[in-house]
Amino acid sequence: MSTDVTPDAPVAVWAPNADTVLLATGNDELAMSRDEAGWWHGTLPADDAGEGTDYGFLVDGSGPYPDPRSRRQPHGVHELSRTFDPGAHTWRDGDWTGRQLAGGSIYELHIGTFTPEGTLDAAAGRLDHLVELGVDFVEILPVNGFNGTHNWGYDGVLWYTVHEGYGGPAAYQRFVDACHAAGIGVIQDVVHNHLGPSGNYLPVYGPYLSDAEGNTWGASVNLDGADSGEVRRYIIDSALMWLRDYHVDGLRLDAVHALKDSSAVHLLEELGTEVAVLSAHVGRPLSLIAESDLNDPKLITPREANGYGLDAQWSDDFHHAVHVALTGETVGYYADFAPLGALAKVLTRGFFHDGTFSSFRGRLHGRPIDTEKMPAWRLVVASQNHDQIGNRAIGDRLSAHLDTGQLGIAAALTLLGPFTPMLFMGEEWGARTPWQFFTSHPEPELGRATAEGRIGEFARMGWDPSVVPDPQDPATFSRSTLDWSELQRPDAGRLLALYRDLAGLRRRFSDLTDPRLGRVSVDFDEADGWLRFGRGAIDIVINLSTSGRWVPTVDGSVLLAFANNADAAPEPGAGRVLVAPHSVTVLGADSVSD
């Protein structure tokens, strides 16, 4: 079923249980006819003004409600939809051949807080910064329609729309065009496991939600019950829309462990198959990246080997191991990652929990990755991301606790490790602005419930509930907006230069994008506080200690050195190197591959 709605053209909505559906266009209520599959069909009048036609649907006398497949909601998620023709945009990216995820790097950002203006057009104005940083993709937090003015995006209710506050769908097309012109691919974060608490009218139309037990965020979507075929089609069509109509290069699939699907062919496998078909048609790579806390390599195992065939998945184990090694924090789910050996295991095995006991869960968790066959780039890793910062009590970044040398260590572990690195906006200069959980629910009772729920979530982590900011307070949102003037700080400029240098090393040396986990070697000394990991003929020496350390390493030239003390320099010796406190040293042998 087509998702495009243009004036003076057919329009359809799936409402299998309705006795009557009328097409409402403001002043008129037009009849619609029902087919055997439960789709209702009508025709919109011509748009004489050229600005789109507002319309909705009256279902059994109630409404009008917005179109479930609406492309625009200029007056909010409770109001009429507006027609939008995605084909009206003249694309300038005809030479764009896409970006493969293997060997690439990702920069995660939130449109509303990336710039003071909080719009897609303003974000496009900052692309030069990302080009100089050396990233290959931007990953955008969800942009679909939600109730209110600002939100993380995970309370969306209209999955085909682009939030009007960001500029709407036309601005989204301009942003993708600008990214491609700059040589940057676009990954869109999408949510298919739940809907937001305000403005969800899908149950009015049909059995979109499951009768089974819900998940952490509300009712589950009906993926395997009666009439689930059209619900699955609703999800898959929305995913294909981003990739086809908006020229997006990949999707990040939110919390796929919350997709409850007992079908013989899981939704993720079906989605992967259809995206592969579209990729072949458009002639460019299209990537699917799952967020999952299952530590199950089946997600990224090819379909030919009975996996789901997704391209990559997030690995929180990497974040936890890096976080504990640098901060010493061991509360809640960090407890199992206290030994430095946890970081060593992650660097060589991909997962820490691969069938091991998880004290936070109170059970065995995960299964091993076949390190001989699975390429390491299929794991997307970060030392900071929107979840791991924003789901802390006060949204504090690593920069609130670590010195510049330690921030450099986090950067080196992320960018020089064997996985696909992802940065979170502002980390490249040690941004001091927090990233806090913010909402703007117009309904006071919903705002109170959200604030109380946040406090309850932090109980298991042992954080002080009295310091949790009110998500509804406008100051919580404004505090989370990047302050670009921070780039004038000397320490910020120095850290940014390191990030650029690390990205440059990845481009220069193929050893640093070699996907074979079997070629990663790790040595460490828990007592002395150092860790060395080798990437082929390159050694990366990390000194977590507050004292200088002699560390065994390859004999080679120093490719990069960064320490908390800007004047500190490594002293190579025969088979070892003296490194400064809180420092990173990268050495390459004569045989290093360029």
Residue 438, annotated as binding a ligand: no
Maximum alpha-carbon separation in the chain: 85
Residue 291 designated active-site? yes
Distance CA 329, CA 332 (A): 9
Residue 254, annotated as binding a ligand: yes
- Do 108 and 425 form a contact (C-beta atoms < 8 A)? yes
- Do 177 and 92 form a contact (C-beta atoms < 8 A)? yes
User: CB count, 10 Å around CB of 333?
Assistant: 17
Strands 538-543 and 62-65: unpaired
Residue 313, annotated as binding a ligand: no
Backbone angles phi, psi at 531, to 5 degrees: -140, 135
Residue 388, annotated as binding a ligand: yes
Residue 562, annotated as binding a ligand: no
Residue 356 bridge partners (DSSP)? 365
Residue 8, annotated as binding a ligand: no
119, two tokens: 């719009």
Which are the contacts of 75, defined by CB distance < 8 A and separation ≥ 6? Answer: none
Residue 561 bridge partners (DSSP)? 585
User: To which residue do tokens 């946890």 refer?
Assistant: 342
Chain-centroid distance, C-alpha 191 = 10
Residue 128, annotated as binding a ligand: no
How are strands ordered across the β-sheet holding 583-588?
520-525, 530-535, 538-543, 583-588, 557-563
Quick check: bond before 64 cis, omega within 30?
A: yes
Any idea of the CA torsion for 126, 127, 129, 132, to the nearest 10 degrees? Answer: -170
Residue 108 bridge partners (DSSP)? 139, 424
Backbone angles phi, psi at 99, to 5 degrees: -135, 130
Backbone angles phi, psi at 215, to 5 degrees: -110, -165
Residue 320, annotated as binding a ligand: yes
Closest CA relative to residue 149, chosen from 389, 394, 438: 438
Distance CA 101, CA 95 (A): 19
Residue 110, annotated as binding a ligand: no
For 240-302, the DSSP string reads: HHHHHHS---EEEETTGGG----SSS-HHHHHHHHHHHHHHHHTS--EEEE--SS--GGGGS-
Q: Residue 69: left if φ>0, alpha if ψ -120 to 50, beta else—which one?
A: alpha
Distance CA 74, CA 162 (A): 10
* Cα–Cα distance list, 57 to 21, 70, 296, 374, 383 (Å): 6, 11, 42, 49, 46
User: CB count, 10 Å around CB of 169?
Assistant: 24
Which are the contacts of 198, defined by CB distance < 8 A and separation ≥ 6? Answer: 77, 146, 147, 148, 155, 157, 441, 442, 443, 446
Catalytic annotation, pick one of 177, 189, 245, 254: 254
Catalytic annotation, pick one of 136, 291, 427, 539: 291
- Do 198 and 446 form a contact (C-beta atoms < 8 A)? yes
Closest CA relative to residue 144, chosen from 169, 173, 176: 169
Residue 318, annotated as binding a ligand: yes
Residue 311, annotated as binding a ligand: no
150, two tokens: 């600002």
Residues catalogued as catalytic = 254, 291
Residues within the annotated binding site for substrate? 252-257, 316-320, 386-391
Residues within the annotated binding site? 252-257, 316-320, 386-391
